[in-house]
Amino acid sequence: MSQTNASSTVNLIPRPAKCRLTGHDLRLSLPVPVYAPSMPEISPVLQTFIEESAPPDGVLLTLIGQAAASDNKPGLTISIQSDMQAPEAYDLVIGPGSARLTASSPAGMLYGLHTFLQLCRIDGSEVLVIGAEIADQPRFAWRGMHLDVSRHFFPVSFIKIYIDLLARHKMNMFHWHLCDDQGWRIEIPAFPRLTEVGAWRIEDGNRYGGFYSRSDIADIVEFARKRCVTIVPEIEMPGHAMSALTAYPEYSCTGGPFTVPTTWGVFDDVYCAGNEKTFAFLEAILSDVASLFPGPMIHIGGDECPKERWRAHDLCQQRMQQEGLGDEDQLQSYFIRRIAKYLNTIGKRLVGWDEILDGGAPAGSTIMAWRSAEKGIEAARAGHDVVMCPMTHCYFDHYQADPAGEPKAIGGFSPLDKVYAFEPIPDGLPAELQDRIVGAQANVWTEYMPDSDHVEYMTFPRLCALAEVLWSPRSMRLWDNFAARLRSHIKRLDKIGVKYRRSDIS
């Protein structure tokens, strides 16, 4: 059977790089025995997967101990081998007699386990696993989803569901937009007013808001670690900072007072770039955030920062003179470079929205190209790693269908087939710069998503399409084939209760 037929028949999403049906389906008794070495790096991931792999969405597995692949025991035998073709790669061979999964990392093992589950059909007290030989690895290293928890706040339980859904789709980066004008959502003990004041707004006479405590964050970080998802926390600066400035107006140019806004948009009051104390404040916050999140990167925003206040403020103008900065764009560039330097001293790398290119982005920073694909090209040419998330295709707050039949959204139009057609390597990027595109993500801004059901509706099944864009070889991305597999895949989503947009599935 051809490779195309194989993976479409078995309805894997995302589609594996190589998949051949062997015709030797495998029958195993339940719970399925799993044989795996006990290793500190894989055991937490494996244990978690096994603990949670139960009907209705999964297949009951039981960890038995170690076995050699050559033992051919009736069950799933996992081996870890360091010389795989790529860090997140896995090989999975189903049948005859047994299933064998080989990976070089916890992530590779996890992705192989998810593929294994997608091949299983429960049949009474047994499970039927489709006979296949799979050699799989991702196309891109950054396979991400963003979530704005400022415009609307979502509980820890939902953040976990979101991260789990990423992992089930072999996505590995969770960009957590933890603060914005309308709410500060992370507890920072040195600055209690951030959450006492900045986490709350008065909407129609009611107090709306919430935040994540340090133990919430630790809990989520550990949850993500066991699913091989890296969290990139975002602390917005110098703009989109009204919630922080309401709590601590002394770090603005005017001194306030302010209120946490209840309308959406871009606000003129931003962090003061002339006051040394602003940097001390932000560095203390970043130091704390760095201690909570083990990942290598911190996102510092950098988008949509009006320069009105800087133009009118003596301290900011003095700073420009002292530093020889020709205009306010260069002052923003100074701001971001200074923060990047600080992050480097604490062992973290900076990620920012593509506006940080204006006036020059710090060397070694990663750029998120959101305004256009061309911004990604500009960033790559300037020597940066690039995460593509152009709003033409990757804004999941945009409408998915005719607005007349849809709940209110922010505007824009990105239906499922358009997301599936998204190509992260932009046209016009010279071949020698293509490696600069580390991957892509979708952004989920929640101005018009008041609850988690609505987030799921806007995110699924578009996330399934994006997962395949980022994982599967470009040549295997065929819309009709995907649409057919998606009809089966949504039954998996049904079992775990995802409130996806049903009209996408005909």
**Active site (annotated) includes residue 180:** yes
Catalytic member of 88, 180, 234, 269: 180
Q: Which residue is nearest to ligand ACM (CB)?
A: 303
Per-residue burial over 98-123, b = 16 or more CB atoms within 10 Å of its CB, e = otherwise: bbbbbbbbbbbbbbbbbbbbbbbeee
Per the DSSP assignment, residues forming a β-bridge with 367 are 352, 386
In this complex, which beta carbon is closest to ligand ACM, that of residue 49 or of residue 176?
A: 176
Q: Which two tokens stand for residue 68?
A: 């050699």
Q: Which of 57, 288, 304, 329 binds ligand ACM (CB under 6 A)?
A: 304
State which of residues 268, 283, 288, 303 lies at the interface with ligand ACM (CB under 6 A): 303
Query: What is the closest distance, in whole angstroms, from the C-beta atom of residue 150 to ligand ACM in the complex?
Result: 12
Nearer to ligand ACM, 17 or 463 (CB): 463
Shortest Å, Cβ 355 to ligand ACM: 8
Least CB distance to ligand ACM at residue 126 (A) = 50
Could you tell me the smallest distance in angstroms from the CB atom of residue 325 to ligand ACM?
24
Nearer residue to ligand ACM within complex by CB, 153 or 370:
370
SS (H, E, C) 280-296: HHHHHHHHHHHHHCCCC
Q: Closest by alpha carbon to 106, among 130, 94, 90?
A: 90
Among 116, 353, 396, 500, binds ligand ACM (CB under 6 A): 353
Residue nearer to ligand ACM on the CB measure, 288 or 303: 303
| Residue 267 is a binding residue for ligand ACM (CB under 6 A) | no
Q: Which two tokens stand for residue 191?
A: 């600055």
Q: What is the Cα–Cα distance from 480 to 483, expressed in whole angstroms? A: 5
Residues within window 355-384 making contact with ligand ACM, judged by CB under 6 A: 370
Residue number with CB closer to ligand ACM (303 or 378): 303
Q: Please report, for residues 38, 69, 79, 162, 271, the alpha-carbon distance to residue 35 in angstroms, rounded to integers and kept in the order given.
A: 10, 9, 9, 29, 55
Closest distance to ligand ACM from the beta carbon of 412 (Å): 11
Give the span between the Cα atoms of 316 and 373, in whole angstroms: 32
Three-state SS for 348?
coil
Which residue type does 395 have? Y
Rounded Cα–Cα distance for residues 379 and 396 (Å): 23
Question: Which lies closer to ligand ACM via its Cβ, residue 77 or residue 366?
Answer: 366
> Among this protein's residues, is 304 annotated catalytic?
yes
Catalytic residue among 240, 299, 313, 393: 240
Choose the catalytic residue: 304, 378, 406, 494: 304
Min CB(443)–ligand ACM separation in Å? 6
Q: How many residues bind ligand ACM (CB under 6 A)?
A: 4
Site mask, ligand ACM, residues 407-446, x = CB under 6 A?
A: ----------------------------------------
Distance CA 333, CA 359 (A): 5
Distances (CA, A) of 157 to 164, 212, 289: 11, 11, 21
CA dihedral sign of residues 156, 176, 494, 17: negative
**Is 358 labeled as catalytic in the residue annotation?**
no
Given the rule CB under 6 A, which residues bind ligand ACM? 303-304, 353, 370
The catalytic residues are 180, 240, 304
